[in-house]
Amino acid sequence: MKNDKNDIMFDFAAHLQSVEENYKMIQVLDETGKIVDSNLVPDLSDEQLVQLFKDMLWSRALNDRCIILARQGRLGFFGPTAGQEASQLASYLAFDKKDFLLPGYRDFPQLVKHGLPLHKAFLWSRGHFEGGQFPAELHAILPQVIIGAQITQAAGVGLGMKKRGIKQVAFTYTGDGGSSQGDFYEGINFAGAFKAPVVFFIQNNQYAISTHWRKQTAANTLAQKAAAAGIPGVLVDGMDPLAVYAVSRAAREWALAGNGPVLIETYTSRFQPHSLSGDDPKLYRDEASFVEWEAKDPFIRMRIYLMEKGLWHKEQEEDLIKKFDMDILKEVKMADDAPKQKISQFLEFMYEKPTELLKEQIAYYKNKEGD
């Protein structure tokens, strides 16, 4: 900076570059299954590594079956998850069952692993009230459909835990589109100001429906948005299960120690449409982008890594995927067999204690329904 004829000069480009140098992407396992940073290899047992891979396979099987169900008209809204298995399941592995999960609408894999029966997830998608009746021991809320709203909710849950002396953390997920919402900034700022034990995830799957993330922001990474809230921000290769787990585990420990929240951007991709409600990614993505990202598929690198350690054989996968699909179909049958909804039930669940008017309406509809 210099003062010349009362004009202040500042090298803004250099300043931006110095900021962005703090947000280099963290990677442990590259696209060929090789370790590129031995210092960050997480301390996971062979059993945990294999289970993580199985969980990812289960998630892909669930995705594939849900696409079929949605096309048959047997689901409501469904957001495909193929490509995001490492981002979702490796991050989830870093948390505890008593930690509080606040998912977005694409985060059913984590929610089911956290304890939601799968048939209830199907019922939620169909708009059935039983899909929102969670087991008492499940520390989670319903998937948030309002983009970014779970970020402010997570800040509140985390602060509540801190005030009650509960030694757990809240963790929440949104997409790159969610990071453009006002709720996102309010949530991370509030959590930062009060040092709430929260881990925020931005799953940067490149597109908010059809809008590329670089059209949403001038920032070179989404992780650097954490700086404005005075909290750590980390960019991680979201197709690398080992890196995602390592960063997520460190973030949980940081938050649990009373240091406040962490923001993690998992740089990943969804291989399929934003949803099955009319979105066609071929209208806004070129073929080369699909080829590029599919070569980074987390299954490729994780499979090679496990095979070289003698922990996996590719022949195992076909039978395992068939088993997963059979298990999923059993849960579909449970959802199909759920009792049909009644108007009186919707009214009964509107409030914890119904108003006098609601009581009259409930009685009226129960009489019509024959109850």
Q: Is residue 9 over pLDDT 90?
A: no
Q: Is residue 227 over pLDDT 70?
A: yes
Token output for 342: 């009644």
Averaged over 117-146, what is the pLDDT? 95
Do 265 and 236 touch, CB atoms closer than 8 A? yes
Shared domain check, 162 and 71: yes
Shared domain check, 284 and 345: no
Shared domain check, 253 and 365: no
DSSP H helical segments within 259-312, as ranges?
287-294, 298-308
What's the pLDDT score for residue 350? 86
**Residue 132 placed within a domain:** yes
Verify whether residue 270 is a known catalytic residue.
Answer: yes
Averaged over 110-135, what is the pLDDT? 96
pTM: 0.93
Location of structure tokens 């996102």: 184
Shared domain check, 273 and 209: yes
Do 126 and 75 touch, CB atoms closer than 8 A? yes
Shared domain check, 159 and 119: yes
Q: Which three-class secondary structure state does DSSP give residue 256? A: helix
Shared domain check, 246 and 197: yes
Q: Is residue 69 over pLDDT 60?
A: yes
**Residue 258 placed within a domain:** yes
Owning domain of residue 354: 341-371
Q: Is residue 371 over pLDDT 70?
A: no
**Residue 7 placed within a domain:** no
What's the pLDDT score for residue 285? 92
Q: Is residue 349 over pLDDT 90?
A: no
Shared domain check, 219 and 74: yes
Verify whether residue 65 is a known catalytic residue.
Answer: no
Shared domain check, 198 and 68: yes
**Residue 282 placed within a domain:** yes
Shared domain check, 251 and 356: no
Averaged over 83-101, what is the pLDDT? 98
Catalytic-role residue among 139, 270, 301, 303? 270
**Residue 15 placed within a domain:** no
- Give me the chain's average pLDDT, please: 94
Q: Which three-class secondary structure state does DSSP give residue 261? A: coil
Shared domain check, 167 and 86: yes
What's the pLDDT score for residue 19? 78
Q: 169: domain CATH number?
A: 3.40.50.970
Token output for 247: 């960063």
Question: Per the structure, how many domains does the chain have?
Answer: 2
Q: Is residue 4 over pLDDT 60?
A: no
Verify whether residue 23 is a known catalytic residue.
Answer: no
Catalytic-role residue among 274, 301, 303, 305? 274
Shared domain check, 96 and 191: yes
Shared domain check, 275 and 330: yes
Averaged over 108-113, what is the pLDDT? 98
